[in-house]
């Protein structure tokens, strides 16, 4: 999948120069599916799901603004608003037709924000153990440069810390392998990785969208690992109750990342949902 990564300069109205954006496109057919990764991750998060879905339809896995292998200029502002604007420009530049938008964890919050802002671009929505129902911690908005550097470079970048997070994300800890850790860490050496995480954290990140969920007018599939220890399981039923045309599917013996831990189940549930 790494060998299949492509780049495209995506224009942004807020900048004089575009952003070199990384993505993987596989398969053919309609409707196109766009996959959005979680926090401090990359499109490689979908390495096990994409080969299964590419047999059925066209797929796009995109690195969000400030994340993955997408370019991070020195002065880049990374916030939910700038991520949304960048993603819409990706859609206008590369796809230009309604998509099935799939978001995992923080990518789910990004997918919800995009669907609410640009409903004409989304045909259906899939949320995988999604963030966004509850607000994240507000203390990050007060992060200074020195503390932010310590949190990212001296803590979050540490292999032992990332391994513990990986083990917590899976129901079966055997999935937190050396291979998984390498895939999850490849983007850490990209220029300005730390700066972008600090910028996003200072923005406050994705706030609670629960008061806006009733405005989602597209069919929505909610996939949730029964053993999620990152976000828990309560928000799954809350999303289901709040989104009008939603269906909730529990993924058995699975943690926070069904697309990695149960890719066959996840692919089958998605294709059943799409008919």
Report d(CA 14, CA 201) in Å as an integer.
20
Identified catalytic residue from 105, 130, 196, 199: 105
DSSP string, 24-59: EEE---SS-EEEE--TT--GGGGTTTHHHHTTTS-E
In the sheet where 6-10 sits, what is the strand order?
6-10, 19-26, 59-62, 33-36, 99-104, 122-128, 220-225, 246-251
Alpha-carbon span 160 to 182, nearest angstrom:
12
In this structure, the number of other CB atoms found within 10 A of the CB of residue 28 comes to: 11
Distances (CA, A) of 3 to 71, 95, 237: 18, 21, 38
Q: What's the CA gap between 84 and 79, in Å, rounded?
A: 8
> Cα–Cα distances in Å, from 206 out to 78, 134, 141, 229?
11, 9, 12, 20
In the annotation, is 120 catalytic? no
Which residue among the candidates 228, 235, 246, 259 is catalytic per the annotation?
Answer: 228
3-state class (DSSP) for residue 206: coil
The DSSP bridge partners found for residue 33 are 59, 100
Residue 228 bears catalytic tag:
yes
DSSP state of 16: S
Q: How far is CA 70 from CA 22, 62, 88, in A?
A: 5, 9, 15
Catalytic residue among 37, 187, 256, 259: 256
Mark whether 37 is an active-site residue. Answer: no
Q: For tokens 């900048």, what's the residue? A: 15
User: Which residues are catalytically annotated?
Assistant: 105, 228, 256
């Amino acid at each position: 999948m790494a060998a299949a990564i492509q780049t495209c300069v995506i224009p942004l109205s807020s900048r004089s120069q575009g952003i070199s954006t990384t993505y993987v496109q596989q398969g053919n057919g309609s409707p196109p599916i766009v996959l959005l990764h979680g926090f401090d991750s990359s499109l490689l998060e979908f390495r096990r799901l994409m080969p299964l879905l590419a047999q059925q339809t066209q797929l796009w896995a995109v690195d969000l603004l400030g994340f993955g292998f997408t370019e991070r200029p020195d002065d880049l502002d990374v916030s939910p608003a700038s991520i949304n604007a960048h993603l819409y420009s990706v859609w206008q530049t590369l796809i230009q037709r309604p998509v099935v938008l799939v978001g995992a964890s923080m990518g789910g919050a990004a997918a919800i924000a995009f669907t609410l802002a640009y409903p004409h671009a989304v045909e259906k929505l899939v949320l995988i153990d999604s963030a966004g129902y509850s607000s994240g911690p507000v203390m990050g908005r007060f992060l200074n440069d020195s503390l932010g550097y310590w949190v990212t470079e001296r803590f979050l970048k540490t292999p032992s810390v990332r391994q513990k997070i990986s083990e917590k994300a899976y129901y079966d800890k055997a999935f937190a392998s050396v291979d998984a850790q390498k895939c999850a860490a490849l983007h850490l050496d990209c220029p300005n990785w730390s700066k972008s995480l600090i910028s996003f954290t200072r923005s406050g990140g994705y706030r609670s969208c629960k008061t806006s969920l009733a405005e989602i007018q597209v069919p929505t599939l909610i996939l949730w690992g029964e053993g999620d220890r990152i976000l828990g399981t309560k928000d799954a039923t809350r999303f289901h109750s709040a989104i009008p045309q939603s269906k909730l599917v529990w993924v058995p013996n699975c943690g926070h990342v069904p697309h990695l831990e149960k890719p066959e189940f996840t692919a089958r549930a998605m294709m059943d949902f799409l008919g």
